[in-house]
Amino acid sequence: MKYPFVLLLISFAFSLTGQTTLEELVEEGIAHHDAGNYDQAIASYQKALALDENSALANYEIAMTYMYAKQYQNALKHADKVIKQGDQYAVQAYVTKGNCLDAIGESKKAVKTYNKAINKYGGNYMLYYNLGLTQYNAGDLDKAEQALIQAINDNPGHATSHFVLGHLMHDRRDKVRSLLALHYFLLLEPGTGRSPGAYELLLKQFGGNVKQTGENEQTIFLDMATLGGNSEFSSAELMLSMLAASNTLEENKDKTAEELFIKNTEGRLK
């Protein structure tokens, strides 16, 4: 009489060990996402949500994957579920929501989303960075600068904040601060796909206003917008131009572009 009962217990034990947990399904989805298989990732997250439709983790991960798959409305729906719960993933969900709103042309709503999260949860470099990026793309350079600097203050090692700030300062013709930001970026990220472009922009700005106007003559074209009394970096701007002009001196004629870059960088940072 006890034998069938033992079989029943064994069968029940096998059924428990054969079940896939929500966490395992989410991990499976993350692996698919990282491999670029967004449809498979979404399928895994949907299985996880079938176990617990209110899981903040599963809702956040599926929102992010929907965003990468450019299914922005679906991403917004799941991000909002996480935000309403106020869970540990709420800040990341705000970032995802802001990114989606920006992607569909709702930059003003994106800015409001980031500011709401900042007011609710305090400073977070990813909130400030994404706020600054949205404002930069919208042409609001002053506010973008403030947000990016705040992101850097919160996390000096966030290379992308330095990268965007360097381009923003270039757009404003603020050569010195653009060079500083690009230098920091290259120190943090010297060998990625973005590094050559940052290096080229740095070199372009460094020597861009020095022209050879004769066999032994160079002319430095000064930008009065940055050399005026309102510029705190006017003396540094002039020094940069003089360093660039010194590249053609006899003592430097055999130096490679890389050697000149090192020499000029040392001169700027002394």
Asked whether residue 192 is domain-assigned, the answer is: no
Please say if the pLDDT value at position 18 is more than 70. Answer: no
More confident residue, 261 or 79: 79
Residue pair 91/117 in contact by the 8 Å Cβ criterion: yes
The gap between the terminal CA atoms of the chain, to the nearest Å, is: 90
Asked whether residue 32 is domain-assigned, the answer is: yes
State the average pLDDT for the chain: 82
Asked whether residue 30 is domain-assigned, the answer is: yes
Pairing of strands 217-220, 210-214: antiparallel
Supply the pLDDT for residue 11: 36
Please say if the pLDDT value at position 31 is more than 60. Answer: yes
Asked whether residue 65 is domain-assigned, the answer is: yes
Q: What is the extent of the structural domain holding 96? A: 19-104
pTM attached to this predicted model? 0.77
Asked whether residue 23 is domain-assigned, the answer is: yes
Mean pLDDT of 178-194: 94
Instruction: Give the CATH number for residue 84.
Output: 1.25.40.10
Asked whether residue 215 is domain-assigned, the answer is: no
Asked whether residue 59 is domain-assigned, the answer is: yes
Asked whether residue 115 is domain-assigned, the answer is: no
Q: What is the residue whose two structure tokens read 């491999």?
A: 35
Supply the pLDDT for residue 37: 98
What is the domain count for the chain?
1
Q: What is the residue whose two structure tokens read 């705190």?
A: 232
Contacts of 73 (CB under 8 A, 6+ apart): none
Residue pair 163/178 in contact by the 8 Å Cβ criterion: no
Determine what percent of the chain is predicted with pLDDT higher than 90: 63
Distance CA 97, CA 92 (A): 9
**Burial of residue 88, with CB atoms counted within 10 A of its CB: 0-12 exposed, 13-18 middle, 19 or more buried:** exposed
